[in-house]
Amino acid sequence: MPLAHISLRAGKPETYRQALFNSLNRAMHETFNVPVDNQFMTITEHEAANFRYGPTFLGIDRSEDLVYIQITANNTRSVEQKKHLYRRITELLGDSPGIRPEDVFVSLIEVEKENWSLGNGLAQYA
């Protein structure tokens, strides 16, 4: 039951943003076995003055097309699954909407299953 937040510089067309959603959803489905219809994602766009990054941190040459992807998910995946997720997100975003691997920044936040309420005031996974 991942919840994904995508942050990027303002100005990309709707087709670009929808491609971000589609590629991220596919990567989570393929690597984390997330159901295809389990799509809880947001995009936040930021003006240049409100979007900062280290353009060469760790020797990675980032551009203004950098996207931050923060995923909150159950802490049930192995290190190998996580590595596969990061690779697959980068591959799919490279295909559509065409983001360079250097411009894909992913942060995974893991939580206990009982930390979710998906509606109706219930803890569905507890």
Residue 96: pLDDT over 90: yes
**Helices of type H across the chain:** 14-32, 79-95
Cis omega before residue 97 (within 30°)?
Answer: yes
Out of 2, 13, 55, 97, pick the active-site residue: 2
Query: Cβ neighbours of residue 126 under 8 Å, at least 6 residues apart?
Result: 113, 114
Q: Which domains does the chain have, with CATH numbers?
A: 3-115 (3.30.429.10)
pLDDT cut 70: percent of the chain above it: 100
Task: Quote the pLDDT of residue 117.
Answer: 87
Residue 115: pLDDT over 80: yes
Residue 68's pLDDT band, with cuts at 50, 70 and 90, is: very high
Q: Whole-angstrom Cα distance, residue 26 to residue 35?
A: 9
Residue 1: pLDDT over 90: no
State pTM to two decimals.
0.94
| Tens-place pLDDT, residues 24-66 | 999 999 999 999 999 999 999 999 999 999 999 999 999 999 9
Return the amino acid letter for 40. F
Residue 88: pLDDT over 90: yes
Give residue 112's Cα distance to chain centre.
19
Q: Could you confirm whether 55 is annotated as catalytic?
A: no
Please state whether 13 falls in left (phi above 0), alpha (psi between -120 and 50) or beta: beta
The two structure tokens encoding residue 43:
């995009």
Task: Quote the pLDDT of residue 22.
Answer: 97
